[in-house]
Structure formats: C-alpha cells, structure tokens
Structure 1
Amino acid sequence: MTIAVDKRTAVGLLVPLLVGALVMVGLGVYGRLHTPTGFAVGPAGFSGALAMKAWLTTGAFLLAIVQVVSALSMWGKLGVTIPAWVHRWSGRVAFLLTVPVAFHCLYALGLQYDVPRVLVHSFLGCFFYGVFAAKMLALPRKGLPGWSLPLLGGAVFVALVGLWLTSSFWFFTTIGVQF
C-alpha cells in the first residue's frame, strides 16, 4: 500500500514536528545540564511539593479524558454532540495545570536517570511538551492529512497518561492520598 503525500502537506506537517522535537530535546538538555535547586514552586495549600504535583497532574489527567471524549464528539464518533468550547477549555486548563508541575520537575529536580520509573517519567515529560507544541502548531494549518491531529492528540493523551502513572498513581499507591 502506498500513501501519496504532496510536498506542501509534508512540509506543513514537518515544521510542527521539527519544532516539537526541538522543544522535547531542549527540555531534556536543560533538565540534564541544569543544577537542580531542590525547590521551585511553593505547594500552596498542599502538604508538600509531591502532593501538589500529584493532584495537579491528576486534574490534568481527568481533563485529558474530557479531551478525548470531546474530540471523539467533534469528529462525529459519538452519538452526542459536545460543544467545541468544552474541548478547547478543558485542554487549556489541563495544560495550565501541568505548568507548575513541569517547572518544579525541571528546575528543582532536573532530568533524572537513576531510577527507571523516574527516567521514564522524565522522558515522558519532555515528550509531552514536544508533542503538545507540535499539535498546537499543526492546528491552524490547512491541508494536513486527516490522521495528523488525531495522532498528535492521541500522543499528547498517551504521554499524559504515562506521566500520571509514573507520578500521581505512584504517589497515591506508595505514599498515600495526601493533600
């Protein structure tokens, strides 16, 4: 089976993917070269930084589920119509919830590789922001293949699920549910 892709379509998708790759690599390099400070963001209302990160990531994870359901609705895959603003706003809020978590992880802890769970988590964090950047840059582009946005959105979702499993789920099952 051969898939025909014209040059303009390939270049239109290549630019967001290259920028996403640069974001991913840039975050990884910064996280590895930056000397961790041990502290970055105050846990405002939480018992500590780990609890804050676990709950904010859980909020982003739950909103990511809303993202998948609303995207399926927008693509006509459900028997119900969910307004497009639900998809846009759940995505915005989910992304905003990840920002203090990522800042704390990168600035206070850096990219770590001593523990396999933490290594996977570090790579998933870099991948999440890289593929998110690629998706946001691909959104306004006309003429992209129909599979590109669902694929990028699915990759964002899978990365966030992986981040949640390697952080919040680990925290709640190892340390316990704390606020």
Structure 2
Amino acid sequence: MAETVDTADRKSIAIPLGAFAAGAVVALLLGVFSKVHDPTLDGTTTLGFNDVRDMKVVVSTVIGVLAVGQLVGALWIYGKLGIKAPSWLGTAHRASGALALLLAVFVGYHCIWAFGFQTGTTAHGYEVPARAIVHEVLACMVFGAVVVKVVAVRSRRAPGWFLPIAGGLLFSLLIVVVLTSAGWYIDEKGWPS
C-alpha cells in the first residue's frame, strides 16, 4: 500500500515539473527569437494612437486591470473573500482571463516584432537600461507561465498546491511586466494621447 501511495505522489508531482519545464522552454525560445529577430515596425499597428509605444501602454494597462480582476475573481471563487461567489463568476473569470491572454499575445507580438530583445548599446547609440532588460526577460517568462497555468487548470491529477502557485506566478509576472513598461512610461511621460 505504501508503495502505491508513493507512486501516485511521484506521478502527480510529474505534472507540475513537466509544466514548469515546458514553460521554461517557451520562455527561452521567445527570448532567443526576440534577440535574433531584426526588429521592425512593419507588421505592427497603432490602433489609432500616435505610435506603437502609446498603443502598448494603453493595452498593457488594460491587461494589468484584467490581471487584478483575475486575482480578485480567483479569491472570490475559492471562498477567500468571505462572501459567496455568484454563479456567473466562473464564466466571467474564464472570459476575462482569455481576454487578458489575447491582449498579452497582441502586445507581446508588437514588443518582439517592433523592438526585439535589446541589450547593451542600441544601433541608435543609447544604452539599454536595466529596467528594460528586466522587462524583456520577465515578458518572455509570462508566456512560459501561461503554459504552466493552462496545465494547472486542465490537470485533474496535479497536487492541490499547483493551481494557486501557477496562478500566482502568472499574476506576479504580469503585474511586474506591466509596471516595468506601462507603469514606467506613464510615470515618465504621462498618459498616452
């Protein structure tokens, strides 16, 4: 009997380990592609804003608001707020999560395609600040964390701690990425026009 329980425990821990490994590969591949890709504004859109950066700031701010909504929704669904969650909350939580992911892919595409992964001194002669490098690394990690979160949501055999850890990781990365981009931009230059 003890051997059966031990085997089941190892099998369940394999799910988060596999998910974290797959997420790390996704993040690494995005980072490598971003670094070797020749950045260009071709193939990007501004959605009517003055430039790509202004558009990304606004959309990233929306992603940040949706991420906070995801955290509140998850806490509410799992009874951590002390009030009963309405029946529609699960559907709203999934829909807003899907929208946040769709917007993150949209912004990520524009970041990678237009700017790439910049380190050192750019072709225009300016030194890339540490904030931008941290942003680039963590932004790649966001998409790896999405892989981990999707596995956590879909797996029925994973340990109970896996979903809150995966969700917390994705939330934390999203918030730091938004703060190191849109937050910084708004603080330095104000709200885009």
Check whether TM > 0.5: yes
Distance, in Å, in 2 between the alignment partners of 1:125 and 1:144 is: 26
Give the secondary-structure state (helix, strand or coil) at the position aligned to 1:139: helix
The runs of 5 or more residues in structure 2 that have no matched partner are 1-5, 120-127
| Partner AA of 1:160 in structure 2 | L
Q: 1:27 aligns with which of 23, 30, 51?
A: 30
Is 1:79 matched with 2:82? yes
Contact 1:41 1:49 in 2 (8 A): yes
Partner of 1:42: 45
| Partner AA of 2:92 in structure 1 | V
Distance, in Å, in 2 between the alignment partners of 1:7 and 1:108 is: 44
* Runs of at least 4 residues off by over 6 Å: none
Distance, in Å, in 1 between the alignment partners of 2:180 and 2:45 is: 22
Contact 1:35 1:110 in 2 (8 A): yes
Distance, in Å, in 2 between the alignment partners of 1:101 and 1:123 is: 15
Contact 2:57 2:192 in 1 (8 A): no
Residues matched between the structures, number: 176
Structure with greater Cα Rg: 2
The runs of 5 or more residues in structure 1 that have no matched partner are none
TM-score (norm 1): 0.92
TM-score (norm 2): 0.86
Tell me the C-alpha RMSD between the 2 structures: 1.5
Partner of 1:15: 18
Alpha-carbon distance, 1:40 to partner: 3.8
Give the secondary-structure state (helix, strand or coil) at the position aligned to 1:6: helix
Q: 1:99 aligns with which of 105, 109, 114?
A: 105
Alpha-carbon distance, 1:38 to partner: 3.9
Contact 1:13 1:144 in 2 (8 A): yes
Q: Deviations over 1:47-82 (max 9, x none)?
A: 211110001010010011110011001211112214
Alpha-carbon distance, 1:39 to partner: 4.2
Contact 2:44 2:113 in 1 (8 A): no
Distance, in Å, in 2 between the alignment partners of 1:58 and 1:30 is: 25
How high is the sequence identity, in percent, across the aligned residues? Answer: 35
Q: 1:122 aligns with which of 132, 136, 140?
A: 136
